[in-house]
Every structure is written in structure tokens, then in C-alpha cells.
Structure 1
Amino acid sequence: MHLVLRVLCFSLLIPGCLSSTGEIAIGCAQWRTSAGSPDICCESCHPGNRLVTPCGPDPKKLCVPCRNETYTTDTTSFSCRRCTQCVGGALTLKKACTRSKDTECDCKAGLRCGDGHCSFCVQECGKGQEPLPTARSCRNCPVGTFSDQIHEKCKPWRTSCPHPHEHIVALGDAVSDSKCRITNNSIPQVITLPTKRGSEDEPRSLIEVSFHHPQQEQGSSSETLHSQDSETKLLPV
């Protein structure tokens, strides 16, 4: 009965039973009991704590925080790891180490992390370039390829267009793909108007032209002929 009451006390008063160092709570976070034993056994320490002993009467003493400049991400580990140091002329500090998380490093401008942990830096390739697979530098995209993103592998120019009515109208360059555009495949027809008046029964040209003459007073026969001659000069049919 005494054991049950003590476990109940730990469960209800766990925030009061645990102190904190900064944002790190001290001690065991989850534990289990064994029938017939006064001790409890820790299953998981608080983040940033390492395990001291698996079982004991006090959950606060089963785990202790990592020391300065050390950390752990494993809540069941018996040891802490030393924090990474961002050393060298290319690396810079992004986020300082905490007891539950390692240091985050970054690279200076013009460089980028060479791996997921940013343990080294490589040259950042611009558009029209690609990173060399076996080196930490860049090369220009070979002819027939392009790169329109920062630090990406060059891709070959397209050889066909995505839509059936499009055609390649311009080849690409180092930073852009070949360009497609909808074009008219029909052969343009040249229409020439005849220079002599033909019969009224002959078919007219496909180009339709209309004129509107303003009304005027009836003139002499010579004025009428002059008007007809002007019409003939304007529109030979």
C-alpha cells in the first residue's frame, strides 16, 4: 500500500518533483514499477538528460542533465556526446548547442553545406552551372544543357514540345530551355489582284472590297465619264 501511494504521489506531483536547468527538466520522465519492489525503473529520461542508473527509489536521481558543451538525443543513453565545433574559415555558427541538440553550423556567403550535418562547405553554383560530383567546385553547363536553379545539375534541352500544336522556335542556352510556341503549319497564299477589267461573268477575287460613293447632283456626261475613270483607277478588277 505504501508503494502504491508513493507511485501515485510521483505521478501527480511530477512537475514539483523535478527541477529544471534552463529549459531542461531533471530526472526520469517515464518509469515503471515492479511487483514486490520498492524501486521504480526509468524507461525514458527527460530530454537532455542521461541515464545514471536504471532503477531506484527516486526518479529525480535516475537521470542527470548533460554537462556544458555536451548533449544527447537518446533519452535512454548512459552518456552524452560532445557538441560540434564550427571551426575553419568557411563554417559559421547557426545555432548554439543545447543539452538536447547538437550545434548547427552554416557556411559563409557564396558557399553551401557539403553534407546534411554541414561538416564542410562547397562552392555554391549559380544558374548556368552545375556542381562537380567529385570536387567542391562548379563547371559551366555543357552545350545542349541548362540550369535555371541555384546549385542544380544541368538538364538537357527539350527535343519536343508538351502540346501537339507547339513547335520549337528557339534553342535554349545555359540558363533556359528551348522555347516552344504555337505556329500555323498552313502555307500562306499570295493573292494578286488582276490589272485588267474582265467580263462581269468571271469570278472575282477572294478579297472583298466595297466602296460607298456620296450622293451628288447629276452632272454633265463628261463629269460622269470622269467619275467612272476614277473608279477604274482605284480598283482594277
Structure 2
Amino acid sequence: MVMLVSADASMPLHAQTFKKDDPYSGRSLVCDRCPPGMYLRAPCSATQKSDCVKCPNGAYTEFWNHISKCLRCSMCAENQVVKQECSPSNNCECECKEDYYFNKKYEACIKHKECPPGYGANITGTPQQDTECVQCQPGFYSEVSSAKATCVAQSNCQAGGLRVVLKGQSWHDTLCASCDDLKTRDGAEYLHEILPTFFIQLHQTMGITKMRRLAMRLPQEGGKKPLRGTVMKLSRRGLNNFMNSWDQGAGKDQVRKLPEVLRNIGAFNMGDKLERKLKYIDQQSKLCEGLVEVAQNELK
């Protein structure tokens, strides 16, 4: 196919033509370039115009040109998806796949960072921008590690005619219960509701060796201990699954021993934090029974 190229008024004339010496006459010829989407199969001669041919599938030219072969369409890199398919006049356009963004420093698509418990997504990540996290304000919380979850409002116990069992913090909701519930349930049972998030905090603040030591010392039913060789090989993901499994099956006596176990491995602050929460829950139960009088905001 011979294409007789017409001028594009929006392009300077010199951008649509190129000079070539005629091998027969030695004269300098002004040949037409090929438009985007085509390549030059044969240059002009004294009697013929430039022979331009459409680019085949998988190839393209984006500008006026006189190249002898179309450019090969690009392939999307790791963690990228096609935003716009390649066409004869445009290269393939790629963007980072869902949950990833393009990091200019590394020139690669990186997974959006996750906001830890106590923080929510202030700006949700896009293919061009990472997630931006913000600490939850008083009265709000986030109990998950997530690149998308935002802080949500704490439960209002009074609105439901319930008592505050445990004050909410940025990383867990306010726990509510009726006095009837407090009289029939042990305080350790309420602690189960925040332990999964508490374990996430441990993973973020403790080294993996100490986490393995904790897993080895978690109080087990009947005093049995897990196989040391198995626990000491667990990854962080494996440790998280191990601890969540323990939480689901642990009885009240096992949960009440957890603060002391934490202190025994050197995690004094975390052990004390958990014990304060347990004491607060116990005191709310006693208040319902009318045995003691304490201010509800004495312990956090």
C-alpha cells in the first residue's frame, strides 16, 4: 500500500518531511514522513512519494517518522496492569495494580502501606500515591491494620442503657455490658474481644525472637507446651495465626495469666497495660454488685 501523505496543519512542515539524496540523479529530495501509526516501507524517489504502511499488531509509532520498522509495544512490569491497550499510534499504558502505587525512588509499584491499629486512612492510596495514615482522634478507633479502613466512632454505652466495661482507646472500641452480663461473665472473657488487636501491637513493637518466646510460654490447657522446634521456626504470619488460635481456645484462667507471661519475657509495659485493663473490668463487675465504689475513669 502506498500512502500519499497529506500535510497536517498543526505540524510544522519540516516535522512532516525529511531530506534524502537521490542515488540516481544525486539531487536532494524532500520526502514525506509517515504519520503516527505508520512506518516508512520505502522513501520517496523522483517519481514516487514515500511508501507508508500501517504498523502491525504489537507495534506502534507515536510521532511523524521515517523509521523502517515500528516500535515494539511495551510490556507492563511486575505489579502493573494495562491502563490502555497498545494501538498502532500509541504505546501500551500501564499503571500499578489495585493496592499498589508507583514509587518514584525505586521506579516500581510498591504495595500501599497499612495503617496500624490506632490509625486510619486519611488519604486512600491510588496507583500514583501511597496511603496516608492519621492517628485516630479521641472518641474514634481503628482495630485493624489496613490501607483503606478509616477511624470509626467509639460505641456509646449509655445510649444503649449499658455500662462501660472498658474505656475505648485509639486501637480498640469501648466495651459495653449490662450489670446482668457482668455478674455472669468473668472479666477475662471481655478481654478476648481486644486480644487480636493487642497481639498485632505486640508484633509491631517486639522482635520475632521475643514473639517466639511468648508463643512458647502462652498458658495451655492442662499445662501442655507446644513443640519448641515448631514454634521457633514460625514466621510472623505463623506466629500471628498461632496466637489468634490460642486466644480463641484460651479459658479465663489462661487469659488472666497472660500479663505475667508478658512481664516474664521482658515486655513489662505491655504486661502492665493488659493487667490494668483486666483490673478495670473486674472493678466494673464489683460496682454492679455494690461491693466497691471507684471512679469509672480511674484506670485507662
Interval of TM-score (by shorter of Structure 1 and Structure 2): 0.3 to 0.5
TM-score, normalised to structure 1, is 0.33
**Structure with max Cα Rg:** 1
Which has more helix, going by share of residues? 2
TM-score, normalised to structure 2, is 0.27
Which has more strand, going by share of residues? 1
